Amino acid sequence: MRITAKFYDDKNFKRGFSRSGFTIREATILETYGRTMQSLLNGVFTPESDAEHRFVEQVKDQPTEISEFAQCWLKYQNKINFKPKFYTLCGTQRSSGDNSDDSSDDSPSDDLD
């Protein structure tokens, strides 16, 4: 793989890759080769070596055995494309006027004799 300028994704990982769920090794690979990997997949660079050809094939096809570079890039893509599911807890509130079943209610009665 070619080494270009350092790769940072301040939009998605403001604290850096190593503090955002990546191992130190994965963070180093992404910082060192991330621009090259991105350029290869976007078509800006054409693959020149066997490693670059394998990387492009592995990211697109995702076979069972993949290189460390492809594994890091796929993990990066999963993290930036992950949409968390939000769940809400909903409940109903009992109305205060429905006390017909509760005989031990100490509230004053409307029946004034």
Residue 108 lies in a domain: no
How big is the CA angle at 66 (ends 64 and 70), to the nearest 5 degrees?
130
pLDDT tens-digit series, residues 53-100: 999 999 998 888 899 999 999 999 999 987 777 777 777 777 666 555
Residue 105 lies in a domain: no
Residue 59 lies in a domain: yes
pLDDT tens-digit series, residues 44-65: 999 999 999 999 999 998 888 8
**Number of separate domains in the chain:** 1
pLDDT tens-digit series, residues 5-17: 889 888 988 888 9
Domain that holds residue 5: 1-83
How big is the CA angle at 50 (ends 47 and 54), to the nearest 5 degrees?
80
* Rounded alpha-carbon distances, angstroms, from residue 99 to 93, 102, 108: 13, 5, 12
What's the mean pLDDT in 105-109? 59
Q: Is 106 helix (H, G, I), strand (E, B) or coil?
A: coil
Q: What pLDDT sits at residue 111?
A: 60
How big is the CA angle at 70 (ends 85 and 37), to the nearest 5 degrees?
100
Burial class, 22, CB count within 10 angstroms (exposed 0-12 / middle 13-18 / buried 19+): buried
Residue 88 lies in a domain: no
